[in-house]
């Protein structure tokens, strides 16, 4: 039996990698929370994620970004991935990303994720909402950069937690 709030897995990169995937995610929880501490090299593209290997244009996202001098909001519909935070600004392990995916395993609703992003080198704090237009339970989540070739820095940690409601 799953406990209320528990770590499912952690992936600490021993070397730079272009993608990180959590697969075979159990449906035993109600919500997922993912915490990422990472950096990026080179800095060409935005960090993104996809569910269940779905590369179709089934995603959309909206972000609110504070740059230190202004607040801006962006939106992208009918995309092949969720993004919205831009590049990470540094190869140092100085970007923090937290993502909540509520009711990830139900097969009735599309899946909405809300996320937070903080990067000191980038000078940004941001929040976003991402929609996946699928009623499938989420069983895998893959992180990469938009061009597929930028790398997450060695030492990056990706941790996924499960939260189970009564």
Partner 1 sequence: MPILGIIASSKAVAVPNSYESISTVTVGGGGSASVSFTSIPATYTHLQIRAIVKSNGGQDSLDLTFNGDTGSSQYTYHSLYGNGSSAGTDVSRPRANIPTDITMVASSDTSMFSAGVLDILDYANVNKYKTTRVLSGFNTNGSANGTAVFLSSGLWMSTSAVTSITLTGRATNIGQYSSFALYGIKGA
List of residues contacting partner 1 (CB under 8 A): 3-7, 30-31, 33, 35, 37, 39, 60-65, 70-75, 77-78, 91-96, 98, 100-103, 106, 108-110, 112-114, 116, 118, 120, 127-131, 133, 135, 153-155, 157, 161, 163-166
C-alpha distances in angstroms, 21 versus 16, 50, 62, 72?
14, 9, 23, 30
Residue 116, C-beta contacts closer than 8 angstroms, at least 6 positions apart:
96, 97, 98, 99, 125, 126, 127
Nearest-approach distance from CB 54 to partner 1, in angstroms: 14
Please, which residue, 19 or 159, has the CB nearer to partner 1?
Answer: 159
Tokens 């995610």 belong to 25
CA nearest 43: which of 98, 13, 86? 86
Residue closer to partner 1 (CB basis): 144 or 156: 156
- Smallest separation, CB 112 to partner 1 (Å): 4
Least distance in angstroms from the C-beta of 146 to partner 1: 18
Give 80 or 155: the residue with its C-beta nearer to partner 1.
155
Task: Tell me which DSSP letter residue 4 carries.
Answer: S
DSSP state letter for 164: -
Q: Which is nearer to partner 1, 17 or 64 (CB)?
A: 64
CB 28 to partner 1: min, Å: 13
Q: Which residues pair with 49 in a beta bridge?
A: 82, 143
> What is the gyration radius of the CA atoms in the chain, in angstroms?
15
């Amino acid at each position: 039996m799953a406990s209320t709030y528990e770590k499912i897995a952690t992936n600490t990169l021993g070397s730079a990698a272009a993608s990180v995937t959590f697969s075979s995610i159990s449906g035993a929880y109600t919500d997922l929370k993912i915490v990422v501490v990472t950096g990026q090299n080179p800095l060409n593209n935005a960090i993104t994620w996809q569910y269940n290997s779905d590369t179709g244009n089934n995603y959309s996202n909206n972000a609110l970004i504070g740059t230190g001098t202004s607040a801006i909001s962006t939106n992208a519909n009918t995309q092949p991935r969720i993004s919205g935070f831009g590049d990470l600004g540094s190869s140092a392990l100085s970007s923090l990303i937290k993502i909540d995916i509520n009711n990830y395993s139900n097969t009735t609703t599309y899946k909405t994720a809300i996320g937070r992003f903080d990067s000191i080198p980038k000078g940004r704090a941001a929040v976003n909402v991402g929609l996946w237009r699928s009623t499938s339970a989420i069983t895998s989540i893959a992180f990469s950069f938009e061009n597929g070739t930028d790398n997450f820095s060695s030492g990056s940690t990706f941790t996924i937690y499960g939260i189970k409601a009564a």
